[in-house]
Amino acid sequence: MGNTTLSIPIELVLDVLQRCGRHDIYNFARTSRANYDISVHMLYRHIDLAVALDSTALERHEKYGVYDFVQIVDLPIGFSSPEFFTCPATDDPVSEVQEALLRFKNIRELHLIIAEEEYSTTCPTARILRWVLSDYAPRLSALFLEIYCCRPFESKFVSVLKDLATEKDASPEHNKLKTIKVWVTHCRPRKLISYLAPLLSPFVASLENIEIRARCDLDPDAAREWWIPGQDYQYLKSLESKSIKSAIIEDKNLSITRATCQFVAKFWPNLVELELDLGANHYVEQYRRLSRLRNLQKLAIMFPYHSWHPEVQAHMGKEAEYPATILGEKIPTLQEVSIKYIGGDCSTSQTAVFDFLRTKSDPDEHGSQSEVVAVNMRELWSEKGDYEDIICIMKLVREMGCVLLEEARERIERYILVDELKVDGFEISEEDNNFRM
């Protein structure tokens, strides 16, 4: 192979690499030593700390200054925790992890991926969470907790969270921490989040972005979470803040959208952007409480399958104009609404993005004017389907068996192949009354 070093300005090379994915950067780095030297700092912007420590990659590349390149760190703590969690010299299961994290001077985000087999007050999860929340969080601009908990381990994990809450010290200033993301997958995710929220509450005063995803697993032997309707949203209560400008809430099993919207408007009053994925079983009118958000400009929701315009449209993108128009009229500050809907066998979903053109009507005989909202679909994009959406649609179709909802059910079946819905190999029949939501 000849000289593969690019004879173009390095500034242009770096600009191109900034737009590439990690795989493309890695392939470019392999073409020559000079190209490797150019791109190595980009390869180490986002690392898996378990892999980096186990492979000694950080140590081997220290001459390049890789510790200064690292900005995003994934730290898995799970079923096959590597040996670096145990240091015989100090008997501290996180000492090597702490040492590496403290050397990352430009770190922006720490992503903890938690899925342990055995929880205790001295397990890696407990020690790392204790240290991160008490000492390390002020270094970060984003903290991401991704938690997977099987039902047999629930009680011990809850005990760990309770223990952390009782020994929580007075927190230092957290002016740098602007984003918190919490993803919990469990048969009762809200229960776990309700114990996590108090641990995160000291950080919310200066937060700008929050993301909460409560996802039910596919454990066929576990009853899915079903709380008292009036308390559906209470697990978020410790996270109220007037500084939050952007929020994402995914909880497809919430039973009362109206109460959730009321909570959001009350405890995050200055939101500018909001994404609510509360499943398909809702009416568009239930979102009207969001009109209390005086600064809300962008809203994303799941198509409210109980709300249909009387006129049958040619495709779901046109059907979505109706709830988009209603939302534009109910929430006068909105500039953009995104509505996600699913079709076929639900293996893919589509999102229609609408802009609003607001004008004043001609004055009536009393001189008063009303606002006229015109809706324009700006873009339409697709993504992979979600097993929880399939479950929600199955439940919705089953509930629409009554005469009053027969027309809505027929409308759904124009777009969704109900008889072909499957969830990762689990065939869920409409007649299967043992499948519990």
Q: Which residue in 415, 20, 59, 119 sits closest to 129, CA to CA?
A: 119
CA distance 136 to 117: 25
pLDDT in tens, the chain (437 residues): 455 555 677 778 777 777 787 778 878 878 888 787 777 778 888 999 988 888 888 888 888 888 999 999 999 987 555 544 544 445 555 678 888 999 999 999 999 999 887 788 778 888 889 889 988 998 999 999 999 988 888 888 999 999 988 876 555 566 789 999 999 998 888 889 999 999 999 899 889 999 999 998 765 444 455 444 445 567 888 899 999 999 999 998 776 788 889 889 999 999 999 999 998 888 899 999 999 999 999 999 999 988 888 888 888 989 999 999 999 999 989 999 999 998 888 888 999 999 998 887 677 666 665 676 789 999 998 998 888 888 888 888 887 777 667 777 888 888 888 877 776 554 444 444 333 33
Tokens for 61?
Answer: 């590349």
Residue 83: predicted pLDDT = 47
Sheet (strand 371-384) strand order: 46-48, 72-78, 109-115, 142-148, 179-185, 209-215, 246-250, 273-277, 298-302, 336-342, 348-360, 371-384
Rounded (10°) angle between helices 154-166 and 124-131: 30
Could you give the domains of the chain? Answer: 10-318 (3.80.10.10)
CA distance 390 to 349: 11
In this structure, are residues 36 and 60 in contact, taking their beta carbons and an 8 Å threshold? no
In this structure, are residues 141 and 176 in contact, taking their beta carbons and an 8 Å threshold? yes
**Any bridge partners for residue 374, and if so which?**
357
